[in-house]
Amino acid sequence: MAIELTTSIQYIKGVGPKRAAALEKAGIRTVEDFLFYKPLRYEDRRAFKEIGSLRQGDVATVSGKVWTARLYGVPRRGLSVLEMVVRDESGSIVVKFFNQPYLRDQFQKGRRMVLFGEVRWDDYSGKLALLNPEFELLDEARDAQIHTGRVVPIYRKLGDMKTKALRNIAHAVVENLPGGSFDPLPEDIRQRHSLLPRLRALAELHFPVVGADGASALALYNEGRSAAHRRMILEEFFVLQVGLQLLRVQRAVEIKRRKYAVDDRIREAVKRILPFHPTAAQKRALKEIVEDLCSRKPMNRLLQGDVGSGKTIVGLQAAVVAIENGYQVAWMAPTEILAEQHFLSIKRLLARSAYGVALLTSAVRKAEKEKLKRAIAAGSVHLVVGTHALIQEDVAFRDLGLAIIDEQHRFGVLQRSSLKEKGLDPDTLVMTATPIPRSLALTVYGDLDLSVIDQLPPGRQPIRTLLKPSDQRQEVYRIVAGEVQRGHQVYVVYPLVEESERKDLKAATQMANHLADRIFPGLRVGLLHGRLKSPQKEEVMSRFAQGELDILVATTVIEVGIDVPNATLMVIEHAERFGLAQLHQLRGRVGRGRATSSCILVVELPVSEEAGRRLQTLCDTCDGFRIAEVDLELRGPGDFAGVRQWGIPQFGFGNIVRDRDLLELARQEAQRFVARSVEGRFSASDQAVLQHLRHRWREKMGLALVG
Ligand code: ADP
Ligand code: MG
């Protein structure tokens, strides 16, 4: 049967309607979708390890036949054990499966199977054994052909389809692929980098072709760096890069109707809100932003700066310029709590101005919300703070001139384009508090201009960071008491992944009481968490800010926004539970004044190896860029949740850290391609490529913006 990439997967041998439904659930509808379901790893089954040669500690794939199998219970431990002896020509090994009695029926004597796992010493049988290994049963001769005697792919389970079922499908697909297909990578690029043809790359991704140098070739596959992988990764990056660059080109010819003037009166207004002298880096960033505002084309700028570098004031100065020119400003944070905190600090900074500032979140009551919306529509609200819902909801602005998006890493490239889809086209300033290495910023945010605040306000000192196991809490308390005695204030932070997690909230509340009543009866202890009503939150924060509280016990609501320079010590409980970027953000709440600050990471031992590295990194450095690099490294290839959190589009094969070189290559190639288009040197095949890319942006990324 000849198939096309667009053929529905349900027509492939071995699929059928039921499996097709399960595949569809995972977003796999076509043959092409299936080919993009990449193997987790590859196993070399060209020659199996001899069972007789296995040693304790080996991680091996063996093939053998069931010799004996019996099922028994260990009632005292509530355990069922399926114990087998599996043999090949060289010897035998014990294989045990725990609490999977239903496997019994499959393992009749003489059944052939492939097993993969670590060889361990089994005290009960006094022999070497495989405990709960991965296994595949092999039946007909055809099975052996597909699943042994070659390098095979291992897949993540999909519905109730395990590796073997998925491999059968992959095999049926790959066997019947057409001779060639449309290639989204232009011919010149393929030639320049000697890339595999697309279909061959896709086929080899599932069934690697490895020659005599098997081991190293296989390693490349397992690392996702084989020629087949690289070809597909380059394609993915190219698709995105062309999109981003066409966006730039398109924007270059856009003309906005807003007109800005910056005269002495406005300069005065901008200066008036400054509680301090801006750093040179802040001045430079503001200048770049104001130039954008005054230019005829809409601003799309990324303001990047480490935590504590002072982005807020720069954004706010830009806001003043917009307001003074008669435009409204939308200030968007990634969560409601952060929006609230921004609102509070903005209100403080604008206290002496006459601007109308409002907070619009889902916590605002209906009647109040309607009133606010009317005020926004009428233009009496000049600056409105909220979440992304601000632009998704039916908020009508009188004249929205500037959108400030804070905490870019949770917004993402794609969400930004939704502004435009709403018929809004403000100047856009994206602020990222999570420092992404500059090289990556340029490639991943290729559609934005970049301003960097690469300097901290004067007088900042590195934050001394120590690690303390939780059983040394008494010592931590002594340090806290000492800090307060010196007239400083202290944060004690509790992890709360979701503000709705009642249990952790209870822990924070109990801790606050415990500290207030038992440990520091003479000190003033406050509690801050996301469940508090706004006025309460405001009260607690302002009491802390005014020095009326010595210790603030808080959930992670203080991650961004709180700004109390007299707070010089932060204790983070359960530090092992936090991500690196988040810990860095949190820690940034201290070290804001001239006094030396410290941070104590209290950890519950033992911690995982990865958590250990996170914590150590934090103790070693305060450099956000270094931290971001380690963070990205630790998340490792394939952790797309992590990538998503950074607001970077998901890639199927590519990993922006591991594959930096390809990202850069894709950027250069995209530049050439787009230049051809701009200069009118597009060939018919270029045109076809562009057509195809447009389709991909729409289908796969929801990006419908390149006209
Ligand atoms: P971030 O870049 O993390 O958003 P913020 O805007 O919250 O940083 O600023 C961090 C702290 O530094 C705040 O207390 C702010 O008032 C202070 N700050 C910012 N710029 C300066 C400056 N030029 N001089 C002194 N303090 C500053
Ligand atoms: Mg900030």
**CA–centroid distance, residue 266 to ligand 2 (Å):** 24
| Cα–Cα distance, 330 to 274 (Å, whole number) | 20
Where residue 375 falls (left for φ over 0; alpha for ψ -120 to 50; beta otherwise) is: alpha
Q: Which residue is closest in CA terms to ligand 1's atom 11?
A: 308
Distance 311 CA to ligand 1 centre (A): 7
Q: For residue 422, what pLDDT is reported?
A: 62
- 77 — pLDDT class (breaks 50, 70, 90): confident
Q: Dihedrals φ, ψ of 488, to 5°? A: -105, 175
Query: What is the pLDDT at residue 419?
Result: 62
Quick one: pLDDT at residue 644?
A: 41
In CATH, the architecture of 299-453 is 3-Layer(aba) Sandwich (3.40)
Reported as a single tens digit per residue, the pLDDT across 306-335 is 878 899 999 999 999 999 999 999 998 877
pLDDT(251) > 80: no
Mean pLDDT of the residues in the chain = 85
Angle between helices 311-324 and 336-349 in degrees, nearest 10: 70
Query: How far is ligand 2, taken at its centre, from the CA of residue 608, in Å?
Result: 30
Q: What confidence tier does 298 reach under pLDDT thresholds 50, 70, 90?
A: confident
Q: Minimum-distance ligand to the CA of 278?
A: 1
Q: Flag the least confident range among 190-199, 231-240, 437-446, 569-578.
A: 437-446
- Give the pLDDT band of residue 410 (cuts 50, 70, 90): very low
- pLDDT band at residue 418 under the 50/70/90 scheme: low
**Per-residue model confidence as pLDDT tens digits over 46-58:** 888 999 999 999 9
Nearest residue by C-alpha to atom 23 in ligand 1: 278
Q: What percent of the chain has pLDDT over 90?
A: 48
Ranges of CATH 2.40.50.140 domains, the chain: 47-149
In this prediction, residue 537 has a pLDDT band, given cuts at 50, 70 and 90, of confident
- The per-residue pLDDT for 479 is 96
| Among the listed residues 619, 604, 597, the one whose alpha carbon sits nearest the alpha carbon of residue 473 | 604
- CA-to-CA distance for 703 and 84, rounded, in angstroms? 54
CATH superfamily placement of domain 463-621:
P-loop containing nucleotide triphosphate hydrolases (3.40.50.300)
| Nearest alpha carbon, ligand 1 atom 18 | 310
Residue 655 is predicted with a pLDDT of: 76
Any idea what DSSP says for residue 397?
P
Residues of the chain with CATH 3.40.50.300: 299-453, 463-621
pLDDT at 519 over 90: yes
Three-state secondary structure of 322-352: HHHCCCEEEEECCCHHHHHHHHHHHHHHCCC
> What whole-number distance in Å separates Cα of residue 358 and Cα of residue 256?
26
SS3 string, 200-252, reads HHHHHHHCCCCCCCHHHHHHHHHCCCCHHHHHHHHHHHHHHHHHHHHHHHHHH
What's the pLDDT score for residue 648? 45
Residue 707 has pLDDT above 50, yes or no: no
CATH among 3.30.300.30, 3.90.800.10, 2.40.50.140, 3.30.465.10 for 47-149: 2.40.50.140
Do 655 and 608 contact (CB within 8 A), yes or no?
Answer: no
**241 CA to middle of ligand 1, Å?**
34
- The pLDDT tens digits of the residues spanning 591-619 come to 887 889 999 999 988 888 888 999 999 99
Q: Which atom of ligand 1 is nearest to the CA of 309?
A: 2
Q: Candidates 283, 284, 302, 312: which one to mutate for ligand 1, based on the most atoms within 8 Å of Cβ?
A: 312
Q: Is the per-residue pLDDT at 407 higher than 70?
A: no
Q: Is 130 helix (H, G, I), strand (E, B) or coil?
A: strand
The whole-angstrom separation of Cα 408 and Cα 429 is: 10
Residue 92 in contact with residue 66, Cβ under 8 Å?
A: no
624 lines ligand 1 (CB under 6 A): no
Q: State residue 645's pLDDT score.
A: 40
Mutate to test the pocket of ligand 1, among 313, 463, 489, 625 (most ligand atoms within 8 A of CB): 313
Among 276, 452, 558, name the best residue to mutate to test ligand 1's pocket (greatest count of ligand atoms within 8 A of Cβ).
Answer: 276
- Rounded distance from Cα 322 to ligand 1 centre (Å): 21
Q: How confident is the model at residue 9 (pLDDT cuts 50, 70, 90)?
A: very high
Residue 637 pLDDT > 50, yes or no? no
Q: Is the pLDDT of residue 213 over 50?
A: yes
CB of 432 shorter than 6 A to ligand 1 = no
Q: Please check the confidence at residue 264 and state whether its pLDDT lies above 90.
A: yes
- 95 pLDDT above the threshold of 90: yes
Choose the weakest-confidence range: 77-91, 404-418, 513-527: 404-418
Cα Rg of the chain, angstroms: 30
- Tell me, in angstroms, the distance from the centre of ligand 1 to residue 313's CA: 7
Dihedral (Cα; 500, 501, 504, 508), 10-degree rounding: 10
Average pLDDT of the residues in 106-132: 92
Taking the CA of residue 278 as reference, the ligand 1 atom at the shortest distance is 23
In degrees and rounded to multiples of 5, residue 352 shows phi and psi of -90, 5
From the CA of 406, give the closest atom in ligand 1.
Answer: 4
| pLDDT score of 500 more than 60 | no
Residue 411: pLDDT over 60: no
Question: Is pLDDT larger for residue 112 or for residue 412?
Answer: 112
